[in-house]
């Protein structure tokens, strides 16, 4: 699975879980709303039930109170008066019982003592009919039985009965609190009343207690909270009280629907927004991943495989060498004059050139071969399936021819060339490191032989490499053992009379090879990472020695590689501190090479140095490509006109004009101008005439050891001899 797929999968996963969360939240909201609604409905239903109970209770209490009016008859009962008298008395107070359809004064055995039914005196038959409706009424089984004193009578105090659709409510009350009346017979007496529960009466009851539409049905209502059974005399239930449920929860529904709708819309918009953002992010991630993948294996600028891919392919090919049987060749290609194009026409032109070179190289390869960009202007080719030994040479020659053709970059035509080093496997080596080292040695050879050619690796090159390594080792120990030495060359006032500065030039007195000039070992030091210790040694020694030469400046050369080192400025400052040398007397000589690669970093380092009081000179001015640009941008104190101008001055008048204008330019920019390599009095006179500030050259002095400088400085006019000779 590719990274892009995995991020896509990650995305779908995220969206799915988001959608899940969204659905869950919505469902929870719906459930909550529904829960609240049903809860409200249930609560209200329970309340309705409570109200119905309360209604019934109130009804019973009211009716029983009414019935108890009959207690007024207790003394008559106690006296055991005859029926007629009782009936007469009962009728008198029965007006209070008008709300009953029938009211009876009976003994515990069910014998009617008195009563009124539908406005007429009641009959025993009337009471018995009522008793059939409600068998538990006084009489029947419990006939004559006295309830134990202090206990409520085991009689239904209230009941509601369904008699074939006619609903009757029956209330029973005792006559006295102790229940016992008629001391003689010890018979208890009860008063029983009934009322027909007509629909109008039931509805009125409901209305009084805020229960809507209270009525009787014969079909069992399905909602247990909305029914009250009304038993028939035989205990069966064929009628129910029911009412209209008031459902406050339902009233909330529209509001909930609105709220839920809004929440759903809100959530979906958030969801859609997040999805879009995620989708966008995933696209970006996939794009980056592709980029990274490509970058990991491919050179971004040239679109060729990069060094890593090259190394991997080479390892693979080497591993297959034995199986395939045919040798392979590694070609290292280094462009000639690439830096010049870069410096003259800018980095964009340089980039374009790299792309075009890559295109030409790629077009020349056979399937199975690899071309890669290994670095700035360096390319590598792996040639597999070499038929005959000359194959690699033939390809190398074709590459030379192809790259010798002019290129069109940024609207100009440029010509470059290349040098090629070739090594073969298994012949020159059977591992990548060896092969690459040997191809590199061959490349070095090709360049040394004058560029624009190819060279095979040969065993003697190894010797040259070996030599280089020996030099490196020796140089390392020479630095460590303090075996290097410094010579100083005076920088002289324009009239040639005063020493105003001394340039430190390093020398290596070699026990076998004699005095080795810097041009021979500085490049090795740069290549082998010795330039920092070497330069620090030079600066330290120069500062120590120049301390004894007050009043003159000390010029020290800085190699571009050293200058680019991130600790360069810090090391200069540290050495100044440690030697106690006055920074204002130190002048560092930089070349244009210092400035081309990372101009911003260079500028920062230069500002830093200047802020410590160190001054800066542009060395070898005129040998680079865009010197004027540097002069404008970077804060130099001085330019040193390269020796080559003076060398050719006599030969070509052009050089003289150039020197003239350079001096003018320098003066115009407020810089001091120093001419290097002054060898003749004519040159001296010319430079004096055009307005140069300082001179340096064999005419005045060669670079000499420190002791000789002591002598020169001690003299009144150090160069009197040379001057008279001139
Ligand atoms: P440079 O900085 O241009 O130094 C001047 C070179 O020109 C010196 O060569 C000097 O001997 C030579 N020279 C001076 N006057 C004349 C003259 O009138 N005629 C001729 N033909 N040559 C003259 P040297 O000492 O061999 O140094 C060569 C280069 O090595 C220097 O060129 C400088 O770039 C580098 N170098 C020397 N010492 C150091 C050092 O300590 N550090 C670094 N990084 N580079 C150094
Ligand atoms: Ca110099
Ligand atoms: Ca120089």
Q: Which atom of ligand 1 is nearest to the CA of 538?
A: 41
User: Structure tokens of 113?
Assistant: 């003592």
Q: Would you state the pLDDT for residue 19?
A: 84
Nearest-CA residue for ligand 1 atom 33 is 557
Q: How far is the CA of 521 from the centre of ligand 1 (A)?
A: 13
Q: Would you state the pLDDT for residue 724?
A: 46
Q: Would you state the pLDDT for residue 467?
A: 75
Q: Say if ligand 1 is within 6 A of residue 501 CB.
A: no
Q: Which atom of ligand 1 is nearest to the CA of 703?
A: 11
User: Structure tokens of 441?
Assistant: 């040695």
Q: Say if ligand 1 is within 6 A of residue 522 CB.
A: yes
Nearest-CA residue for ligand 1 atom 34 is 557
Residue 677 main-chain phi, psi, to 5 deg: 70, 35
Q: Would you state the pLDDT for residue 79?
A: 76
Neighbours of ion ligand 2 (CB under 5 A): 557, 589, 619
Give a three-class secondary structure readout of 61-103: HHHHHHHHHHHHHHHHHHHCCCHHHHHHHHHHHHHHHCCCCEE
Which range, of 29-33, 145-149, 641-645, averages the lowest pLDDT? 145-149
Distance (Å, rounded) from C-alpha 513 to C-alpha 643?
Answer: 27
Q: Would you state the pLDDT for residue 151?
A: 46
Nearest-CA residue for ligand 1 atom 46 is 557
Is this structure's pTM higher than 0.85?
Answer: no
Predicted confidence (pLDDT) at residue 463 exceeds the cutoff of 80: no
Give helix 3-68 / helix 199-208 axis angle, nearest 10°. 110
Q: Would you state the pLDDT for residue 50?
A: 86
Q: Would you state the pLDDT for residue 289?
A: 67
Q: Would you state the pLDDT for residue 2?
A: 46
**SS3 label, residue 379:** strand
Band of pLDDT at residue 726, cut at 50, 70 and 90: very low
Residue 116 main-chain phi, psi, to 5 deg: -135, 135
Band of pLDDT at residue 186, cut at 50, 70 and 90: low
Higher pLDDT, 489 or 193: 489
Cis peptide before 426 (omega within 30 of 0): yes
Predicted confidence (pLDDT) at residue 145 exceeds the cutoff of 60: no
Higher pLDDT, 393 or 632: 393
Q: Is the dihedral of CA 223, 224, 226, 232 positive or negative?
A: positive
DSSP state of 170: E
Q: Say what the alpha-carbon torsion angle 121, 124, 126, 129 is, to the nearest 10 degrees.
A: 170
Q: Say if ligand 1 is within 6 A of residue 517 CB.
A: yes
Q: Say if ligand 1 is within 6 A of residue 66 CB.
A: no
Average pLDDT over residues 265-289: 84
Distance (Å, rounded) from C-alpha 97 to C-alpha 36?
Answer: 47
Predicted confidence (pLDDT) at residue 5 exceeds the cutoff of 60: no
CA angle 493, 607, 527 (to 5 degrees): 85
Q: Would you state the pLDDT for residue 477?
A: 92
Q: Which atom of ligand 1 is nearest to the CA of 558?
A: 44
| Residue to mutate, 489, 505, 680, ligand 1, most ligand atoms under 8 Å from C-beta | 505
Predicted confidence (pLDDT) at residue 156 exceeds the cutoff of 70: no
Higher pLDDT, 8 or 595: 595
Predicted confidence (pLDDT) at residue 185 exceeds the cutoff of 80: no
Distance (Å, rounded) from C-alpha 488 to C-alpha 510?
Answer: 19
Residue pair 474/677 in contact by the 8 Å Cβ criterion: no
**Residue with token string 């298994």:** 426
Distance (Å, rounded) from C-alpha 90 to C-alpha 69?
Answer: 10
Q: Which residues contact 491 (CB under 8 A, 6 or more apart)?
A: 499, 500, 501, 502, 503, 553, 555, 674, 694, 695, 696
pLDDT tens string 292-328: 756 678 888 888 999 989 999 999 999 988 887 788 9
Higher pLDDT, 326 or 421: 421
Q: Which atom of ligand 1 is nearest to the CA of 620?
A: 3
Average pLDDT over residues 635-651: 84
**SS3 label, residue 366:** coil
Closest ligand to Cα 642? 3
Distance (Å, rounded) from C-alpha 655 to C-alpha 173?
Answer: 145
Average pLDDT over residues 256-269: 88
Distance (Å, rounded) from C-alpha 454 to C-alpha 444?
Answer: 10
Which range, of 114-123, 180-189, 208-217, 669-678, averages the lowest pLDDT? 180-189
Give helix 568-579 / helix 531-546 axis angle, nearest 10°. 30
Distance (Å, rounded) from C-alpha 46 to C-alpha 226?
Answer: 9
Higher pLDDT, 252 or 431: 431
The most confident of 247-256, 281-290, 578-587, by mean pLDDT: 578-587
| Residue to mutate, 516, 526, 557, ligand 1, most ligand atoms under 8 Å from C-beta | 557
**SS3 label, residue 576:** helix
**For the chain, what percent of residues have pLDDT higher than 70?**
90
Distance (Å, rounded) from C-alpha 240 to C-alpha 230?
Answer: 5
Q: How far is the CA of 538 from the centre of ligand 3 (A)?
A: 17
Nearest-CA residue for ligand 1 atom 37 is 505
Predicted confidence (pLDDT) at residue 152 exceeds the cutoff of 50: no
Q: Which residues of 500-518 are buried (b: 16+ CB within 10 A; e: fewer)?
A: bbbbbbbbbebeeeeebeb
Distance (Å, rounded) from C-alpha 45 to C-alpha 39?
Answer: 10
Q: Would you state the pLDDT for residue 688?
A: 94
Mean pLDDT of the chain: 85
Q: Say if ligand 1 is within 6 A of residue 520 CB.
A: no
Q: How far apart are the first and last CA of the chain?
A: 83
Decide: residue 560, CB within 10 A, 0-12 exposed, 13-18 middle, 19+ buried.
Answer: middle
Q: Which atom of ligand 1 is nearest to the CA of 676?
A: 15
Q: Say if ligand 1 is within 6 A of residue 698 CB.
A: yes
Higher pLDDT, 145 or 276: 276
Q: How far is the CA of 701 from the centre of ligand 2 (A)?
A: 15
| Residue to mutate, 518, 519, 694, ligand 1, most ligand atoms under 8 Å from C-beta | 518
Residue pair 321/425 in contact by the 8 Å Cβ criterion: yes
Predicted confidence (pLDDT) at residue 155 exceeds the cutoff of 60: no
Decide: residue 254, CB within 10 A, 0-12 exposed, 13-18 middle, 19+ buried.
Answer: exposed
Higher pLDDT, 586 or 214: 586
Q: How far is the CA of 90 from the centre of ligand 3 (A)?
A: 149
Residue pair 486/706 in contact by the 8 Å Cβ criterion: yes
Q: How would DSSP label each residue in 254-322? A: HHHHHHHHHHHHHHHHHHHHHHHHHHHHHHHHHHHHHHHHHHHHB-TTT-SB-HHHHHHHHHHHHHHHH
pLDDT tens string 377-392: 999 999 987 877 678 9
Residue pair 182/80 in contact by the 8 Å Cβ criterion: yes
Decide: residue 397, CB within 10 A, 0-12 exposed, 13-18 middle, 19+ buried.
Answer: middle
pLDDT tens string 434-457: 999 999 999 988 888 878 899 998
């Amino acid at each position: 699975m590719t990274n892009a797929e995995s991020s896509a999968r990650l995305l779908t996963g995220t969206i799915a879980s988001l959608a899940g969360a969204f659905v869950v939240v919505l469902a929870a909201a719906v459930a909550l709303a529904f829960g609240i609604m049903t809860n409200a409905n249930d609560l209200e239903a329970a309340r309705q039930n409570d109200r119905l109970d309360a209604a019934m209770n109130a009804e019973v209490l009211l009716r029983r109170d009414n019935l108890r009016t009959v207690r007024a008859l207790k003394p008559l009962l106690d006296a055991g008066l005859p029926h007629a008298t009782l009936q007469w008395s009962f009728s008198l107070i029965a007006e209070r019982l008008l709300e009953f359809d029938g009211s009876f004064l009976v003994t515990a055995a069910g014998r009617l003592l008195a009563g009124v039914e539908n406005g007429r005196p009641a009959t025993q038959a009337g009471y018995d009919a009522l008793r059939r409706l409600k068998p538990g009424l006084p009489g029947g089984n419990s006939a004559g039985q006295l309830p134990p004193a202090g206990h409520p009578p085991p009689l239904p105090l209230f009941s509601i009965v369904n008699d074939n659709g006619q609903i009757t409510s029956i209330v029973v009350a005792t006559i006295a609190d102790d229940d016992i009346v008629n001391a003689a017979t010890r018979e208890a007496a009860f008063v029983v009343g009934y009322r027909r529960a007509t629909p109008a009466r039931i509805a009125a009851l409901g209305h009084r207690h805020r229960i809507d539409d209270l009525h009787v049905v014969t079909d069992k209502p399905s909602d247990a909270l909305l029914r009250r059974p009304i038993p028939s005399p035989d205990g069966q239930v064929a009628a129910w009280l029911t009412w209209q449920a008031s459902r406050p929860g339902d009233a909330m529904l529209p509001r909930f629907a609105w709220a839920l709708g809004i929440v759903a819309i809100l959530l979906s918009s958030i969801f859609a927004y997040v999805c879009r953002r995620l989708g966008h992010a995933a696209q970006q991630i996939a794009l980056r991943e592709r980029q990274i993948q490509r970058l990991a294996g491919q050179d971004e600028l040239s679109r060729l495989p990069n060094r890593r891919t090259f190394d991997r392919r080479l390892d693979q090919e080497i591993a297959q060498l034995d199986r395939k049987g045919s040798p392979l060749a590694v070609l290292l290609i280094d462009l000639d004059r690439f830096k010049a194009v870069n410096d003259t026409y800018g980095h964009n032109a340089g980039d374009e050139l790299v792309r075009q070179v890559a295109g030409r190289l790629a077009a020349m390869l056979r399937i199975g071969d690899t071309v890669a960009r290994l670095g700035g202007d360096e390319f590598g080719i792996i040639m597999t399936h070499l038929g005959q030994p000359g194959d690699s040479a033939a390809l190398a020659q074709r590459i030379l021819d192809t790259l010798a053709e002019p290129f069109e970059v940024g609207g100009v035509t440029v010509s470059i060339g290349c040098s090629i080093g070739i090594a073969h496997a298994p012949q020159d080596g059977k591992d990548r490191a060896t092969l690459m080292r040997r191809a590199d040695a061959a490349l070095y050879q090709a360049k040394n032989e004058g560029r624009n050619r190819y060279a095979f690796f040969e065993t003697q090159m190894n010797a040259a490499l070996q030599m280089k390594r020996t030099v490196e080792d020796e140089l390392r120990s020479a630095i460590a053992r303090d075996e290097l030495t410094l010579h100083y060359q005076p920088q002289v006032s324009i009239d040639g009379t005063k020493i105003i500065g001394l340039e430190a030039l390093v020398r290596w007195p070699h026990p076998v090879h004699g005095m080795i000039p810097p041009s021979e070992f500085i490049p090795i030091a740069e290549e082998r990472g010795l330039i920092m210790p070497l330069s620090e040694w030079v600066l330290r020694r120069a500062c120590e020695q120049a301390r004894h030469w007050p009043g003159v400046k000390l010029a020290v050369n800085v190699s571009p590689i050293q200058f680019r080192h991130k600790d360069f400025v810090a090391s200069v400052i540290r050495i100044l501190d440690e030697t106690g040398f006055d920074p204002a007397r130190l002048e560092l000589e930089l070349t244009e090479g210092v400035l081309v690669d990372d101009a911003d970093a260079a500028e920062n380092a230069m500002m830093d140095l200047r802020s410590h009081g160190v001054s800066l000179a542009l060395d070898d001015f005129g040998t680079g490509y865009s010197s004027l640009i540097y002069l404008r941008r970077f804060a130099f104190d001085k330019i040193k006109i390269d020796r080559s101008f003076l060398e050719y001055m006599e030969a070509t008048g052009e050089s003289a004009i150039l020197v003239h204008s350079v001096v003018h330019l320098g003066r115009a920019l407020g810089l001091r101008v120093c001419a290097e390599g002054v060898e003749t009095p004519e040159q001296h006179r010319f430079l004096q005439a055009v307005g140069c500030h300082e001179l340096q050259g064999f005419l005045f002095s060669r670079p000499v050891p420190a002791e000789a400088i002591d002598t020169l400085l001690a003299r009144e006019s150090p160069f009197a001899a040379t001057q008279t000779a001139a």
